[in-house]
Amino acid sequence: MPARALSAAGAMLRATGGATEARQLLDEALAIGRAVGGRLNTGWALLHLGA
Protein backbone atom coordinates (compact mmCIF):
# COMPACT_ATOMS: atom_id res chain seq x y z
CA MET A 1 0.00 0.00 0.00
CA PRO A 2 2.76 2.55 0.68
CA ALA A 3 4.06 2.19 -2.88
CA ARG A 4 0.60 2.85 -4.30
CA ALA A 5 0.17 5.96 -2.16
CA LEU A 6 3.61 7.26 -3.17
CA SER A 7 2.81 6.67 -6.85
CA ALA A 8 -0.49 8.52 -6.55
CA ALA A 9 1.12 11.44 -4.74
CA GLY A 10 3.94 11.53 -7.27
CA ALA A 11 1.51 11.53 -10.18
CA MET A 12 -0.45 14.40 -8.65
CA LEU A 13 2.70 16.42 -8.02
CA ARG A 14 3.94 15.81 -11.54
CA ALA A 15 0.60 16.94 -12.98
CA THR A 16 0.71 20.15 -10.97
CA GLY A 17 4.28 21.09 -11.82
CA GLY A 18 6.24 19.59 -8.94
CA ALA A 19 8.52 17.45 -11.08
CA THR A 20 11.44 17.29 -8.66
CA GLU A 21 9.31 16.27 -5.70
CA ALA A 22 7.34 13.86 -7.87
CA ARG A 23 10.51 12.15 -9.03
CA GLN A 24 11.59 11.53 -5.43
CA LEU A 25 8.24 9.97 -4.49
CA LEU A 26 8.05 7.88 -7.64
CA ASP A 27 11.62 6.63 -7.23
CA GLU A 28 10.75 5.54 -3.69
CA ALA A 29 7.55 3.85 -4.88
CA LEU A 30 9.54 2.04 -7.56
CA ALA A 31 12.12 0.84 -5.04
CA ILE A 32 9.41 -0.47 -2.70
CA GLY A 33 7.55 -2.16 -5.53
CA ARG A 34 10.70 -3.90 -6.73
CA ALA A 35 11.73 -4.91 -3.19
CA VAL A 36 8.44 -6.65 -2.46
CA GLY A 37 7.92 -7.99 -5.97
CA GLY A 38 4.84 -5.86 -6.56
CA ARG A 39 4.49 -5.85 -10.32
CA LEU A 40 1.43 -3.60 -10.33
CA ASN A 41 3.00 -0.96 -8.09
CA THR A 42 6.27 -1.16 -10.01
CA GLY A 43 4.37 -0.67 -13.25
CA TRP A 44 2.45 2.35 -11.97
CA ALA A 45 5.64 3.99 -10.73
CA LEU A 46 7.35 3.40 -14.07
CA LEU A 47 4.34 4.72 -15.94
CA HIS A 48 4.33 7.96 -13.97
CA LEU A 49 8.09 8.30 -14.29
CA GLY A 50 7.63 8.21 -18.04
CA ALA A 51 9.67 5.04 -18.48
12, 25 Cβ separation under 8 angstroms: no
pLDDT tens for 15-48 read 999 889 999 999 999 999 999 988 988 998 998 8
pLDDT surpasses 80 at 1: no
Q: How far, in whole angstroms, is CA 43 from its chain's centroid?
A: 9
pTM to 2 decimals?
0.85
Cβ contacts of 48 within 8 Å, gap of 6 or more: 7, 10, 11, 14, 22, 26
Domain chopping of the chain, boundaries:
2-49
HEC states along the chain? CHHHHHHHHHHHHHHCCCHHHHHHHHHHHHHHHHHHCCHHHHHHHHHHHCC
| 51 band by pLDDT with thresholds 50, 70 and 90 | low
